Amino acid sequence: MIARRALIPFMLALGFALAMPAIAARADDAQDARKIVQTISDRALNILARPSRTDRNSEFRKLFTEYFNTVAIGRFVLGRYREGVDPSQFDRFMGVFEELVAKTYTVQLGDFAGEKFKVLSARSDNNRWVVDSQIEPPGRSTIRLDWILARTKSGLKVVDVRVDNLSMAITQRDEFSSILQANNGKVDKLIDFMQQKIRKLDTSV
Amino acid sequence: MTLRLCRGQVVGAFGVVAFAVLATGCAEVPKDPAARAAYNEANDPLEPMNRAIFDFNMTADKAVIKPVAKAYRWTLPEFFRTSIRNFLNNAKSPVIFINDSLQGSPSRAGETLMRFIVNTTAGMGGIFDVAGEYGMERHSEDFGQTLAVWGVGEGAYLMLPVLGPSNVRDTIGRVADGFMDPFGYLLANNGLDYARIGATVTDGIDQRSRNIESLDDIEKNSLDFYATLRSLYRQNRKSEILNGKVENIPVPEIKEND
């Protein structure tokens, strides 16, 4: 009887000890997630300060592939048309996709350069980490930026960014879906349009 | 604002428009299952008509609206434009209050009422957002959101001339808000109909002046600006309807080898 009563606190202690690393790991993950977002923002600011546009483009592309899981995003934006795409076509798509995203980020982040950017908290949601941050542009209301990170083999990677609840991944998926729908689902046609856009962005101011 | 058409004319006009839309504006429902699923998800059966109106809007915007908005921003100092914005926002408070109440949100209705009283009195008729400076943030509501809260689905996507993206429910909401606005009746009863039109136009120009760069960027970066705006409109409405608390947004999946 004494043994059984003593067992309970022991079991509690054991359970607690087993849970501790998991809890600590979650706290670490939250810290990591926040650090990653802060690093991305710092590096983005540095990149925007570079004078050469080709420089900025290639640096943004590196930033994208390093901190974002581009393959998951690429699969996602193809949506239901993903199934009709063979591996070599998908690789070709990914190459063009990464270049396009790097170029569009160059344009969009340029607007936010120099604004007050604050990383707030990180919380877990299903299997993902959501890092809340905000930008305070002068004379305008605060913009909320949510960064969605997922655990991969190579650590936490960003899989989506939401600007005031507007998801970049979903917006891009809807846009690609519209183009694919108008072109009989031919991903090659989509790749053509993407390359046209890349050339246009290259030649614009 | 009274509509002076006789009933027969209204029905006739409706019939003509309906026929025109059905004859030319509807998209063909695709046969392929993947395409059909995408078609249903896009919920834009009037896409050809909507795209035509969108092209018109883009032309009108480049020719008239954007230049006027830029001139507005360039000639009026920020303080003045902020006062205009504050005044117009404040004038919308009754409609927001009514919609807060219809949605069964007494605390939000209370905030709206408080803001209205404070800003109209201490804020000199709404020119100063005194309430905002004390931390009482403004929120917006409209009858389209109220209908959504009541469970009404969005209906087909609509691109309205000049007014931009909408859907069947939100368009009905706009019309209803127009009828709900006490200031509208106040102005009409005093023979000041033109003031209401003036306020609406100024509101539009002021709002346009505040989104010039962001819309330019979105256009620059999109492969299909129409589809991008449609997506953004939908996501934004969802966020507005849920008062910012959107959950379960689909997210890219990680596979084993990633």
Q: What is the pLDDT of residue B2?
A: 46
pLDDT above 60 (res B6): no
Q: What is the pLDDT of residue B44?
A: 95
Q: Which residue has the higher pLDDT, B59 or B8?
A: B59
Q: What is the pLDDT of residue B86?
A: 96
Q: What is the pLDDT of residue A2?
A: 59
Judged by a CB distance cut-off of 8 A, whether residue B77 touches chain A is: no
Q: Which residue has the higher pLDDT, B192 or B146?
A: B146
Question: What does the block give as tokens for B226?
Answer: 């129409």
What proportions of chain A, in percent to the nearest 5, are helix, strand and coil?
65, 20, 15
Q: What is the pLDDT of residue B3?
A: 44
Q: How many Å apart are CA A1 and CA A11, to the nearest integer?
A: 15
Question: What does the block give as tokens for B121?
Answer: 């009195």
What single letter denotes the amino acid at residue B118? Answer: V
With beta carbons less than 8 A apart as the criterion, state whether A166 and B236 touch.
Answer: yes
The pTM for the full model equals 0.86
Chain A residues with CB-CB distance to B257 below 8 A: 153
Q: What is the pLDDT of residue A21?
A: 65
Question: Is residue B30 helix, strand or coil?
Answer: coil
The mean pLDDT value for B16-32 works out to 66
Closest CA–CA distance from residue B9 to any residue of chain A (Å): 38
The mean pLDDT value for B115-136 works out to 95
Question: What does the block give as tokens for B7?
Answer: 């009933």
Average pLDDT, chain A: 85
The mean pLDDT value for A7-31 works out to 71
Residues facing residue A125 across a β-bridge? A128
Q: Which residue has the tokens 């980490």?
A: A129
Judged by a CB distance cut-off of 8 A, whether residue A27 touches chain B is: no
Average pLDDT, chain B: 89
The mean pLDDT value for A1-27 works out to 68
pLDDT above 70 (res B19): no
Q: What is the pLDDT of residue A117?
A: 83
Q: Which residues lie below 8 Å from residue B148, measured CB to CB, with a gap of 6+?
A: B154, B169, B237, B241
Residues facing residue A120 across a β-bridge? none
Question: What does the block give as tokens for B29?
Answer: 């429902």
Q: What is the pLDDT of residue B27?
A: 74
With beta carbons less than 8 A apart as the criterion, state whether B158 and B168 touch.
Answer: yes
Residue of chain B with shortest Cα separation from A151: B254
Judged by a CB distance cut-off of 8 A, whether residue A107 touches chain B is: yes
Mutate to test the interface with A, among B206, B228, B258 (most CBs of A within 10 A): B258
pLDDT above 80 (res B21): no
pLDDT above 70 (res A137): yes
The mean pLDDT value for A65-75 works out to 93
Report CB contact under 8 Å: A166, B236: yes
Q: What is the pLDDT of residue B60?
A: 97
Question: What are A177-191's pLDDT values in tens digits?
Answer: 999 999 988 999 999
The mean pLDDT value for B4-29 works out to 59
Short-list B217, B224, B232, B211, CA closest to A105: B217
Question: What are A86-134's pLDDT values in tens digits?
Answer: 999 999 999 999 999 888 876 666 667 667 788 999 988 878 899 999 9
Q: What is the pLDDT of residue A23?
A: 63
Q: Which residue has the higher pLDDT, B101 or A83?
A: B101
Q: What is the pLDDT of residue B42?
A: 87
Question: Is residue A87 helix, strand or coil?
Answer: helix
The mean pLDDT value for B76-82 works out to 95
Judged by a CB distance cut-off of 8 A, whether residue B224 touches chain A is: yes
Tallying the residues shown for chain A, one arrives at 205
Looking at A24-33, A53-62, B94-103, B134-143, which range is the least confident one? A24-33
Chain B residues with CB-CB distance to A178 below 8 A: 42, 224, 226-227, 230
pLDDT above 90 (res B22): no
Judged by a CB distance cut-off of 8 A, whether residue B28 touches chain A is: no
% of chain B residues with pLDDT over 70: 90
pLDDT above 80 (res B17): no
pLDDT above 50 (res B83): yes
Question: Is residue B252 helix, strand or coil?
Answer: coil
